[in-house]
Amino acid sequence: MKNSLLLLVASSLLVGGTATAGDWRSSAKNLAPLAPPPAVESCLSYDYVDLEYQYTDFGSTYFDQGHGFGLGFSKSLGSMFYVNGSFSDGEYEYNWDNHFLDVDTKKYRLGAGVHAPIAKCIDITFEGGGEHLDAEYAAYYNDHDYDSWGYYFGPGIRARAGRLEMFGKAYYYGREGDLRKEYLSHHTHYPGIDDEYGWLFTAGLIYHVTDCFGIKFSAEFDDDDTLFTVGGRYHF
């Protein structure tokens, strides 16, 4: 009698355990799979257009009133690379023996770059490209007109915190045919004034008013001149 009772209890437990295990497997099959984590977008964009006003401080009494307008762009190519370029239309006055000549300039730049993150919202960059400068002097002095071709390359950095973004670049450049420095060398004995190679530094900041638009301030300077810009950046 005792053996029959123990056998009956053991059979009941075995059947109940099997049913419970089956219930768990059935419930697991009905569970929805975990969704992948949402993609985190970078806070630094390489798709934008710049429009800016430019003022040039030549650092010399022989050039003055340098101002103009500029247009620039950047377009990403995949996750690391991008192309960029700019166009500026400006003018300044050249003091030729106390006779001021108007000079119109047009500068074109086209290049490419690569970027990599080193921390959250901080990228290092490396860019390179070519540039062309076309300078036209006032009537009766167009024999001073010239075209200059050049190249540039170098590292940079971008960082953003909240709405404020800061950036900096250091280009090594080489130019041929930039007669402006040659004309300046006629008035000064400063050594290397007609040097066609050197370093060009850029520093600036952007205040992002919205996700698409920001106000931009920057300065670009070399051994002789400083270019100040103020304008806007539109992200697309």
Q: Say whether pTM exceeds 0.85.
A: no
Instruction: Find, among 73, 142, 152, 153, the residue nearest to 104 by Cα.
Output: 142
CATH number of 48-235: 2.40.160.40
pLDDT score recorded for residue 182: 75
Residue 141: the pLDDT is 87
The per-residue pLDDT for 38 is: 44
Cβ of 54: how many Cβ atoms within 10 Å?
20
The pLDDT score that the predictor gives to residue 20 is: 45
Residue 39 is predicted with a pLDDT of 44
Domain coordinates in residue numbering, the chain? 48-235
Closest CA to 74 of 60, 85, 66, 62: 85
If one counts every other C-beta atom within 10 angstroms of the C-beta of residue 138, the result is 16
What's the pLDDT at 183?
Answer: 78
- The confidence score (pLDDT) of residue 108 equals 98
Mean pLDDT, contiguous 10-residue spans, the chain (236 residues): 44 45 49 50 90 92 91 98 98 86 96 98 98 93 92 99 98 91 67 74 98 98 92 98
Do the beta carbons of residue 178 and residue 192 sit within 8 Å?
Answer: no
